[in-house]
Amino acid sequence: MAAPTYLRSLQALELSVRHGSFVGAAADLGVTPAAVGQRVKALEDYLGVELLIRGRAGVTPAPSLGSALPRLREAFRALEATAEELELQRGRELHIAAASDFADLWLKPRLDRFRAANPHILFSINGEGDAPRRLGRVDCEIGFGELTGEAGRTLLFRDYVVPVTSPENVERTSAIAVRDRLEGFPILHLDFYKDDPAGLSWPDWVEANGVSRAHPDRGMRLQRLRPALDAVAAHAGVTLCGLALIVERLDAGAVALPFPVSMGCWSTHGFTARFRPDLQSQRHLDRFRTWLVGEAEATADQLARIIGAA
């Protein structure tokens, strides 16, 4: 039996004894119970002895496993300790998976502030960065979706969605009455918010604000925010976009609001972060978590001031 196969079979055997079932071993290994059983059976066939007794209640060690079982357990405890030690040595790296628009428009522009205080921490965001690409679980996962209260998931902020266009288009239409300002204007539809129960689409916005617009369901449809913002900056029309991700662009005059900010709508969904539970005590991850939550709170306060001042 080849060494890699031999080790996989021994691991399946040890975990099956530890959990008392193929099901428990399968959960640890990320395979099916049938695959665990096949690995154990391959080892039994190779050695020519029965190693586990299968029963309705699970599995138990066969007499032939005998004195080998304590050594097997000791060996895998040593391997697990070694793996944990190697994981600790990877402490300068953070691997993050984030919604592309969140990463490009919110996280990356702020990350220099974290790097300035933590210059030795390396990052990989969606597989790119100064940390080498790594297979397996990421340290932090950030996405936009429904707020389920799932354990271990932290709400960063909800967003406030408003029409956005170029400053030149705002100037061109500023003399037109608010009710008629959208008529004849090219509108860009974003699928980013399509599943949000708040109704963050053009037809919903037009109806909610009593704005005149023929066929508000027509127009170019885009999957991501960034291409929509690029089109807006090129004077290609107006789109609905969350303020949280574009405050810096708004302050810099790269985009502008063609309607009063009070005509926006809070999202029901929100941006949330989930961190690896087995790395809770890692100092570099703790620092990033604290920084991320602080930046998110600053963004939420910024939104409150903008909307409150309207």
In a domain, 105, yes or no: no
Q: Are residues 254 and 173 in the same domain?
A: yes
Q: What is the pLDDT of residues 204-240, one digit of tens each?
A: 999 999 999 999 999 899 988 989 999 998 998 999 9
Residue-wise pLDDT for 193-206, tens only, equals 989 999 999 999 99
Angstrom distances, CA of residue 254 to CA of 168, 221, 225, 247: 10, 22, 15, 10
The CATH number covering residue 39 comes to: 1.10.10.10
Q: Is residue 130 part of a domain?
A: no
Tokens of 95: 């691997």
Query: pLDDT by residue (tens digit) across 101-155?
Result: 999 999 999 999 999 998 888 888 988 887 766 666 788 999 999 988 777 789 9
Q: What is the pLDDT of residue 92?
A: 78
For position 199, which CATH number holds?
Answer: 3.40.190.10
Amino acid 50: pLDDT? 92
Domain-located, residue 108: no
| Residue 151 vs residue 73, higher pLDDT | 73
What's at 50, amino acid-wise? E
- Regarding whether 82 and 169 lie in a shared domain, the answer is no
Residue 136 lies in a domain: no
What is the domain range of residue 20? Answer: 3-89
Asked whether residue 43 is assigned to any structural domain, the reply reads yes
Cβ–Cβ < 8 Å for 65, 34: no
* Most distant CA atoms of the chain, gap in Å: 90
Is 60 exceeded by the pLDDT of residue 89? Answer: no
Same domain for 262 and 180 = yes
Residue 42 belongs to some domain of the structure = yes
Do 82 and 180 belong together in one domain? no
Residue 82 lies in a domain: yes
Q: How many domains, in total, are found in the chain?
A: 2
